Amino acid sequence: MSNKKKIVRDSRVTMTEMVLPNDTNPLNNLMGGRMMHLIDIVAAICAQKHSNRIVVTASVDNVSFTKPIKIGNVLTLEAQVTRTFNSSMEIFVRVYAEDIPTGTKVETNSAFLTFVAVDQNGTPIAVPILVPETEEEIRLFESALRRRQLRLILANKMNPEEATELKSLFFGEKK
């Protein structure tokens, strides 16, 4: 990890899009693949801003579609870095759909993504340390280690016994 430090707001990104006919399915709802595309873009921009490097998507956690997003809705996607590791960064994205004529705005999706910063040859490179400031930033920062360990376990890159924060979940041990 780099010695350089950055705070969350230095790389926070907000992106706005309108749902157009080509973005929708036969029910006039936003297609899931289009949503995932937008989430990946806003998260990549956020990771690039934090690392000042080229980044590649390493993983996307569960993306749930809780509410349909209708044609004509305005989407707001908000991305922020939650924690950095050596060359990787966890990014949290929230998605809101707004019906401007009625004035209603609802959160429709959220996702955690992992990006790796790379040099011009595609070799992973160290990223700045993240310094959380607010209560929510600290909560997301602290829980990121458990999410990372779960990702590694699911990818068969870590044994559950090695996961420091997860031992109590799998083996009933106290922290």
Read off φ and ψ for residue 76, nearest 5 degrees: -120, 120
What confidence tier does 164 reach under pLDDT thresholds 50, 70, 90?
low
CA distances from 30 to 17, 33, 41, 109 (A): 11, 9, 16, 12
What confidence tier does 155 reach under pLDDT thresholds 50, 70, 90?
confident
Write out pLDDT tens, residues 38-96. 999 999 999 999 999 999 999 998 888 889 999 999 999 999 999 999 999 999 999 99
The CATH homologous superfamily to which domain 5-131 belongs is: Hotdog Thioesterase (3.10.129.10)
Would you say residue 108 has pLDDT above 70? yes
With residues binned 3-state (H G I as helix, E B as strand, rest as coil), the percentages for the chain, rounded to 5, are 30, 35, 35
Would you say residue 162 has pLDDT above 80? no
Which residues on neighbouring strands pair with residue 124, listed in sequence order? 118
Would you say residue 34 has pLDDT above 90? yes
pLDDT over 70, % of the chain: 91
**C-beta separation of 109 from 35 below 8 A:** yes
For the chain, what are the domain ranges? 5-131
Would you say residue 154 has pLDDT above 90? no
Hey, how many other C-beta atoms are within 10 angstroms of the C-beta on 160? 14
Mean pLDDT over the full length of the chain: 90
Hey, how many other C-beta atoms are within 10 angstroms of the C-beta on 6? 19
Of the CA atoms within 13 Å of residue 19, those in its CB half-sphere come to 25
Residue 148 pLDDT = 86
Write out pLDDT tens, residues 13-29. 999 999 999 999 999 99
Angle (CA) 22 107 68, round 5°:
40
| Complete DSSP assignment for 69-93 | -BTTPEEEEEEEEEEE-SSEEEEEE
**C-beta separation of 108 from 65 below 8 A:** yes
Cβ within 8 Å of residue 79, ≥6 positions away:
12, 13, 14, 15, 42, 43, 45, 46, 91, 92, 93
Residue 169 pLDDT = 47
Residue 75 pLDDT = 98
